[in-house]
Chains A and B, each alone.
Chain A
Amino acid sequence: MANDIPLNWFLYFSAAAFAIGLTGVLLRRNAIAVLMAIEIMLNAANVNLVAFWRYGTPAAGAGPMPGVILALLVVTVAAAEVAVGIGLVLLCYRRWRAVDVDRYDTLSG
């Protein structure tokens, strides 16, 4: 592993991706863009998981659940989440004729 890219680079990359995703969620008003930003955040965590699996040593009694498997599970969960998210966005689009989250204003607060 001596000639590999150091672990830190992966961590900086994933932290940057996570920050980009979080900024997107907070600043973008388009519901589809918010969905994409959430995906970026989930994938940032995935990069972390795989990097830690590749570089880390498992703790004693860590059990047979390595980071790559976690990453695969997260990919599956993310797919399910997007399917549901798109469904909800479409439902709202049909009611309001808009995908702008600021336009949905029936509920106070």
Chain B
Amino acid sequence: MPPNVVPLDLRDFLCIAPALVLAFWGLVVIAADLGRFRRLDPDARRVACGRATLVGVGLALASAVFLAWVDALAQSDAPRLVALFGDSLGGYFARTDGLIFFGTLARGLAVDVLNVLFLVLLAMVVWMSTSYGFTDDLGEYFALMLWATVGMMLLAAAEELATLFIALETTTICLYLATAFERSRRRSAEAGLKYFVYGSVSSALFLYGLSLVYGLAGSTYFDAIGRVLRGGDAGLAGNLAGASALLLLLVGFGFKVSAVPFQQWVPDVYEGAPAPVAAWIATGSKVASFVAMLKVFVHALGPWSHPSGSVMGPGWLGVVAVVAAVTMTYGNLAALAQKDLKRMLAYSSIAHAGYMLVGVAAASVSTEGPASAGAVVYYLIVYALANVGAFAVAAWLARDKGTEAIADLDGLAGRSPSLAVCIVVLMLSLIGVPPFAGFFGKLYVFMEALRQGPSDTRIVLTWLVALGLFNSVVSAFYYVRVLKAMYLREPSGRPIEPARPALALPIAAAAVLVTVLGVVPGPLVDLSRSVAVPMLTAGRLDVPAAVDVPAPAPPAEKPSGVAWHPETPTD
């Protein structure tokens, strides 16, 4: 690369302020725990560490909300920004199509909205963590949760494959460690190692796919890849390198979003990990992975979704459709047999991944264009909120019983009637019963899947939707078991104690949010759609200086979108 690369714009750092605050605050929490909190007794120390962490999350949330305000203003009233912040900074903020750090990260309202979502979920998870003592290394635990979130934020903002890979690793490496944090139980260490082995193998597969994509397209930027692939003549048939790249990336993401047949780690890790960590793996990590998957598959590899025009021809659309069908069916059927609440939630999260994959498949062929991915974003938000609440219930059981059997919930309605109602709301939302947000999540995903022109993609996706509806009915059976335990059974043995605010508030907040978003789904749907459009189109590299580099003349007889030398065959 020639040396005349544009210098780094220091203002870019402002746009990742929430991530920077969290990264720094992790160190603050460790230092505070070492210096001050270690002298307190275990319960007080846990609460103190948790509060210190929440302060950092609050600061990051404030910066994220501020950035969201600035970016919203940039879309509606850009001159005012210049008046408020001066020419340099105001003008910088007023550019709404910006990519930052040499085009590797996106900025703008879409990123801010996702950051706010991550931080709200993180606050609930951190709060839940203070409810019971599962580890003695509190400073390190909370710091790892903060750093995992840094990775998720960057993952959701990445516009380039290497950045995406590093963000993915930041997230998962922190989560491997956090999974193994439960001191008293062997299964936590085992879950950590299992998560590590599955996770790092999937990362290696992903990386190999990435290297092939880099070789084929000559770039790792999503937009550049998309342009190169669109330029080629339908290039996937007989293109072994392209097909293996596609398959390897799909396997990598399949692991991260827990799609069948790469789901083996999910139940074990969720069961073995401490409940708050399992909550963060099930929500934050999944949201970030799905956003990244949408970007890679719909934006960068979109031209390879079904290049020959038929779903079951070469291309990823047919594979994703089949994987979605198998994932939701397997997740729901396997969940029916579970007696452990966290294990049941693990299989249910596999099933939800299946519904969301239907949305991913639909987003690549919808007549609506990128806005159709808004359905997946909406589903992700709703799913994450309901699941954080459900895992808080698991944390409650773990605190008092040491296990998370569904039977431990017996008779809960008699002792904590209001929280029992909240749990009912969460379960109904996860099933997808109308007044609650989960229903609208499924409705929009399935509606987008049906919004196709008349073609064989429409037939395939209609079948997928029918299967999804059938699966929703199946899922009702295992979610209702929780309700049956709470309302129809008498407690045997020592009942669980009432929840303190650290548990009650996440459950109640999740239930309220799920209800409100279900009764008034409009604003969030609009927001999700407006998030999805820049997410899947952010492209123009604003590094004009890098373009005036005299590029070496490409060989004239360049074969189908392949950027390396033509004398090398593409096998």
Q: Which of B176, B177, B214, B217 contacts A49, CB < 8 Å?
A: B214
- Distance of A64 Cα from B544 Cα, bound (Å): 11
Q: Which of B177, B204, B218, B565 contacts A84, CB < 8 Å?
A: B177
A-B contacts besides A6-B567, A89-B193, 6 pairs, CB < 8 Å = A38-B201, A41-B208, A45-B211, A52-B215, A57-B218, A65-B162
Query: Known contacts A61-B541, A88-B196: does B218 contact A95 (CB below 8 Å)?
Result: no
| CB-nearest residue of chain B to A26 | B201
Minimum Cβ distance to chain B for residue A88 (Å)? 5
Q: Which of A38, A63, A80 has the most CB of B within 10 A?
A: A63
Minimum Cβ distance to chain A for residue B536 (Å)? 18
| CB-nearest residue of chain A to B211 | A48
B265-273, B455-463, B490-498, B505-513: which lies at the interface: B265-273
Interface residues of B in 166-208 (CB under 8 A from A): 166, 169, 173, 176-177, 180, 186-187, 189-194, 196-197, 200-201, 203-205, 207-208
Asked if A57 and B552 sit within 8 Å, CB to CB, the answer is: yes
Asked whether any CB of chain B lies closer than 8 Å to the CB of A16, the reply is no
Contacts of A45 in B (CB 8 A): 204, 207-208, 210-211
Asked if B212 and A56 sit within 8 Å, CB to CB, the answer is: no
Minimum Cβ distance to chain A for residue B295 (Å)? 16
- Distance of A21 Cα from B565 Cα, bound (Å): 28
The prevalent SS among residues of A at the interface is helix
Q: Which of A34, A58, A95, A96 has the most CB of B within 10 A?
A: A58
The prevalent SS among residues of B at the interface is helix
15 A–B pairs (Cβ distance < 8 Å), ordered by A: A6-B568, A7-B565, A25-B201, A42-B204, A59-B224, A63-B219, A64-B543, A65-B162, A65-B221, A66-B1, A73-B166, A81-B203, A88-B177, A89-B193, A96-B186
- Distance of A104 Cα from B272 Cα, bound (Å): 12
Q: Which of B176, B191, B543, B563 has the most CB of A within 10 A?
A: B563
Q: Which of A64, A70, A96, A108 contacts B546, CB < 8 Å?
A: A64
- Distance of A70 Cα from B1 Cα, bound (Å): 13
Asked if B268 and A52 sit within 8 Å, CB to CB, the answer is: no
Q: Which of B220, B546, B552 has the most CB of A within 10 A?
A: B220
Asked whether any CB of chain A lies closer than 8 Å to the CB of B130, the reply is no
Asked whether any CB of chain B lies closer than 8 Å to the CB of A60, the reply is yes
The contact string, 1 if C-beta is below 8 Å from chain A, for chain B 547-565, is 1000110110000000111
- Distance of A48 Cα from B220 Cα, bound (Å): 13
- Distance of A55 Cα from B564 Cα, bound (Å): 6
The chain A residues found within 8 Å of chain B, CB to CB, are 6-8, 14, 18, 21-22, 25, 31, 34, 38, 41-42, 44-46, 48-49, 51-52, 55-67, 69-70, 73-74, 77, 80-81, 84-85, 87-89, 91-92, 95-96, 101, 104-109
| CB-nearest residue of chain A to B270 | A107
| CB-nearest residue of chain A to B545 | A64
Minimum Cβ distance to chain A for residue B546 (Å)? 5
| CB-nearest residue of chain B to A6 | B568
Query: Known contacts A60-B551, A81-B173, A106-B272: does B568 contact A7 (CB below 8 Å)?
Result: yes
Contacts of A91 in B (CB 8 A): 180, 189, 192-193
The contact string, 1 if C-beta is below 8 Å from chain A, for chain B 128-171, is 00000000000000000000000000000000101001100100
Asked if A85 and B196 sit within 8 Å, CB to CB, the answer is: yes
**How many residue pairs, one in A and one in B, have C-beta atoms under 8 Å apart?**
185
Asked if B208 and A88 sit within 8 Å, CB to CB, the answer is: no
| CB-nearest residue of chain B to A85 | B196
Q: Which of A38, A41, A52, A95 contacts B189, CB < 8 Å?
A: A95
Query: Known contacts A64-B543, A89-B193, A109-B268: does B564 contact A59 (CB below 8 Å)?
Result: no
Q: Which of B194, B197, B208, B264 contacts A44, CB < 8 Å?
A: B208
Minimum Cβ distance to chain B for residue A37 (Å)? 9
Asked whether any CB of chain A lies closer than 8 Å to the CB of B5, the reply is yes
| CB-nearest residue of chain B to A38 | B200
Asked if A109 and B104 sit within 8 Å, CB to CB, the answer is: no
Asked whether any CB of chain A lies closer than 8 Å to the CB of B318, the reply is no
Q: Which of A6, A55, A84 contacts B176, CB < 8 Å?
A: A84
Asked if A88 and B192 sit within 8 Å, CB to CB, the answer is: yes
Asked if B272 and A48 sit within 8 Å, CB to CB, the answer is: no
Asked if A81 and B220 sit within 8 Å, CB to CB, the answer is: no
Q: Which of A49, A63, A101, A109 contacts B197, CB < 8 Å?
A: A101
The contact string, 1 if C-beta is below 8 Å from chain A, for chain B 221-240, is 10111011000000000000
| CB-nearest residue of chain B to A34 | B197
Q: Which of B200, B207, B220 contacts A65, CB < 8 Å?
A: B220
Asked if A59 and B212 sit within 8 Å, CB to CB, the answer is: no
Contacts of A41 in B (CB 8 A): 201, 204-205, 207-208
Asked if A77 and B193 sit within 8 Å, CB to CB, the answer is: no
Contacts of A7 in B (CB 8 A): 564-565, 568
